[in-house]
């Protein structure tokens, strides 16, 4: 029953997104810059939107498989961990059509009324942070619960030695990108003072990226240390899929950070970059679907 509800809600959100993409007028400045007509702009955005929606539906399929599995083993020792992972994945997946639709609506409103641009941009940035923040915390908690089901002495290996260095490098690079971004009233993507950007956006993003990366590492460790060759093979796909999705999320956010510089590029490289990220998304969710199916099969035979 719940699966049907989730599927219906998700499909409705996806349809809303497609309708918004096909009907909302494009910013005239964008039409002028790339020298395309409104109709061509709609067709172009649909060539991005439709594959994106197909990927989302694929992601939904992967999530529902994983949800099935987590329900099956909810009474077991590792049930809590998989349940948290499932909830985190749900938040992440449902955020895809929601944030995309919200973004389309906000863009349209701000094109019609430029005075609302700062408010809508700030709102969009915080809502875009909220979903991955919740999702990655749930995923990280789930991965920790799983690793705790292993022998206790495994825990002291639970944080990789290079982890601290990687976090420092990541936060330094991200801070540099934010503080050196070219800013004008026309292309600011934050509309906040730098100190607020750093404390309320950059720090939370770096925090969840580090938590997300640690979760991927914990899942890798759980997969490596847990008994059962066949069980490990099924988990392998799941761990790889989660890691791919976490990496993609990080890359997308970095892309947004440097987006002011990317508008200087021609259209083709920008589209290529977006298509590449969409393809990576498909691979990640495909791996999760495959892993969840194999794990479920073990519980069914």
Site for another protein in 282-301 (CB under 8 A): 295, 297-299, 301
Please give the backbone phi and psi of residue 151, each rounded to the nearest 5 degrees, phi first.
-60, 145
> Between helices 79-112 and 2-23, what is the axis angle to 10°?
20
Using CB under 8 A, pick the residue from 78, 128, 209, 239 that binds another protein: 78
Closest CB to another protein among residues 146, 197 = 146
Write out the binding residues for another protein, residues 228-257 only, by CB under 8 A: 228-232
The encoded tokens of residue 156 equal 């002291």
Q: By CB under 8 A, is residue 71 in contact with another protein?
A: no
Rg (the chain; Cα; Å): 20
CA separation for the pair 28, 68 (Å, rounded):
46
Cβ distance to another protein smaller for residue 78 or 201 = 78
Q: Which of residues 18, 189, 226, 254 is near another protein by CB under 8 A? A: 226
Q: How far is the CB of 63 from another protein (least distance, A)?
A: 21
Tokens of 64: 């529902």
What are 21's two structure tokens? 């993409």
Shortest separation between residue 109's beta carbon and another protein, angstroms = 50
Q: Residue 301 CB, nearest distance to another protein (Å)?
A: 4
Distances (CA, A) of 267 to 21, 63, 98, 187, 274: 18, 33, 26, 17, 11
Among 162-170, 209-217, 225-233, 248-256, the segment contacting another protein (CB under 8 A): 225-233
Least Å distance, CB 241 to another protein, is 19
Q: Residue written as tokens 């991965």?
A: 143
In angstroms, the CA 233 to CA 231 distance is 5
DSSP 78: T
Residue 124 or 296 having the CB closest to another protein:
296
CA angle (163, 132, 8) in 5-degree steps = 140
- Applying CB under 8 A, the residues found at the interface with another protein are 73, 76-78, 149, 226-232, 295, 297-299, 301
């Amino acid at each position: 029953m719940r699966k049907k509800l989730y599927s219906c809600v998700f499909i409705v959100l996806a349809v809303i997104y497609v309708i918004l993409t096909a009907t909302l007028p494009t910013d005239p400045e964008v039409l002028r810059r790339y020298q395309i007509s409104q109709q061509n702009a709609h067709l172009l955005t649909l060539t991005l939107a439709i594959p994106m929606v197909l990927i989302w539906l694929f992601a939904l399929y992967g999530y529902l498989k994983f949800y099935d599995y987590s329900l099956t083993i909810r009474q077991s020792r590792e049930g809590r961990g998989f349940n948290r992972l499932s909830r985190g994945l749900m938040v992440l997946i449902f955020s895809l059509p929601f944030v995309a639709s919200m973004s389309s609506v906000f863009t349209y409103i701000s094109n019609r009324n430029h005075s609302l641009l700062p408010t809508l941009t700030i709102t969009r940035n915080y809502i875009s942070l909220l979903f991955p923040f919740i999702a990655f915390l749930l995923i990280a908690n789930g991965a920790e619960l799983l690793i705790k089901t292993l022998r206790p002495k495994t825990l002291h290996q639970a944080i990789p030695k290079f982890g601290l260095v990687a976090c420092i490098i990541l936060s330094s690079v991200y801070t540099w990108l934010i503080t050196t971004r070219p800013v004008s009233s026309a292309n600011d993507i934050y509309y906040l003072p730098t100190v607020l950007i750093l404390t309320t956006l950059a720090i939370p993003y770096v925090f969840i990226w580090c938590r997300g990366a640690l979760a991927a590492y914990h899942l890798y460790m759980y997969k490596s240390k847990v008994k059962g060759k066949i069980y490990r093979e099924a988990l392998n796909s799941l761990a790889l899929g989660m890691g791919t999705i976490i990496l993609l999320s990080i890359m997308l956010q970095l892309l947004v950070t440097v987006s002011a510089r990317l508008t200087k590029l021609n259209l083709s490289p920008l589209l290529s970059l977006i298509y590449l990220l969409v393809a990576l998304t498909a691979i990640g969710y495909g791996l999760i679907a495959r892993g969840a199916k194999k794990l479920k099969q073990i519980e069914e035979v």
